[in-house]
């Protein structure tokens, strides 16, 4: 295990779920995102909020939610992968969920996903999600009747990777068994990298309902990003080749 996760504060029971939120100048949508955690029908959670040296009102917004938020500020802006690892170091829950600061959860997200972890073989659960553009739903991530990779499904994920971070919940024990968490050298594909490595030794489970909303931004499909995705995907495949015999 590359890091040591946090222990709960003295006299406090650890929540079942740590919700990781990484933020850099995210004030525009941040309150809406955090409110969607507060609105969960399951209340056994904490937010681990890592501020990546923001210069806007994000710190004040995050702190306004009180002691259920573990607020951590990076002294300087670092890569998103490195900042996500800082968040993981402060998580105390047995399950770790993720919510980007411009995305949203449906109120029943945790209620629908947590029972999947009653199966000790499951290391990662995910769901469908709404796609938002200019604040409006324009569709869902998966087409009706689409195949969803579940169980031991590394090959299926490689053939059609489509997981959205804000839908994901990970078993803390599964993270602890990895030699590396998020790869700080990756700029765009750090999520795919860690999820694929989790799929080597753990089963995936999926709720086919849209339990989150993912915002699409104007530059999210830029040519530069697509080129970098290609480079980073090659790096991920090389890493998997080292980890998986006969890959």
Give per-residue pLDDT as tens, 75-117: 999 999 999 999 999 999 999 999 999 999 999 999 999 999 9
29-51: per-residue pLDDT in tens? 999 999 999 999 999 999 999 99
Confirm if 225 and 219 have CB atoms less than 8 A apart.
yes
How long a stretch of residues is the chain? Answer: 247
Calculate what percentage of the chain has a pLDDT beyond 90: 85
What pLDDT is attached to residue 226?
81
What pLDDT is attached to residue 2?
55
Token pair of 126, please?
Answer: 């995910």
What pLDDT is attached to residue 1?
42
Confirm if 58 and 27 have CB atoms less than 8 A apart.
yes
Name the fold adopted by 17-243.
Answer: Spore Coat Polysaccharide Biosynthesis Protein SpsA; Chain A (3.90.550)
Instruction: Over range 1-18, report the average pLDDT.
Output: 68
What pLDDT is attached to residue 201?
96
Number of Cβ atoms within 10 Å of the Cβ of 2? 13
pLDDT band of residue 7 (cuts 50, 70, 90) is low
pLDDT band of residue 11 (cuts 50, 70, 90) is low
What pLDDT is attached to residue 3?
54
Counting other chains too, the contacts that 157-162 makes at CB distance below 8 Å and 24 or more residues apart are: 157/195, 157/196, 157/199, 157/204, 158/196, 158/240, 161/192, 161/196
Domain boundaries, the chain: 17-243
pTM reported for the whole predicted model = 0.92
- List the single range of 167-176, 199-208, 229-238 with lowest mean pLDDT: 229-238
pLDDT band of residue 223 (cuts 50, 70, 90) is low
Burial class (CB within 10 angstroms; exposed 0-12, middle 13-18, buried 19+) of 247: middle
């Amino acid at each position: 295990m590359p890091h040591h996760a946090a222990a709960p504060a003295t006299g406090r029971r650890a929540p079942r779920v740590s919700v990781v939120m990484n933020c850099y100048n995210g004030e525009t949508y941040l309150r809406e995102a955090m409110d969607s955690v507060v609105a969960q029908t399951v209340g056994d959670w904490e937010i681990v909020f890592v501020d990546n040296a923001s210069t806007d009102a994000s710190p004040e917004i995050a702190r306004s939610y009180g002691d259920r938020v573990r607020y951590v500020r990076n002294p300087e802006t670092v890569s998103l992968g490195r900042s996500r690892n800082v968040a993981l170091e402060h998580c105390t829950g047995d399950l770790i969920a993720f919510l980007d600061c411009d995305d949203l959860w449906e109120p029943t997200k945790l209620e629908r996903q947590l029972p999947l972890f009653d199966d000790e073989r499951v290391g990662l659960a995910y769901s469908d999600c709404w796609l938002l553009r200019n604040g409006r739903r324009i569709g869902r991530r998966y087409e009706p009747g689409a195949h969803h990779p579940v169980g031991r499904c590394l090959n299926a994920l490689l053939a059609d990777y489509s997981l959205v971070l804000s839908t994901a919940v990970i078993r803390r024990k599964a993270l602890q068994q990895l030699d590396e968490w998020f790869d700080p050298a990756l700029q765009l594909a750090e999520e795919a990298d860690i999820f694929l490595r989790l799929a080597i030794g753990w089963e995936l489970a999926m709720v086919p309902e849209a339990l989150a909303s993912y915002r699409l931004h104007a530059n999210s499909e830029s040519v530069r990003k697509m080129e970098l995705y290609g480079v980073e995907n090659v790096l991920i495949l090389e890493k998997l080749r080292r980890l998986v015999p006969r890959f």
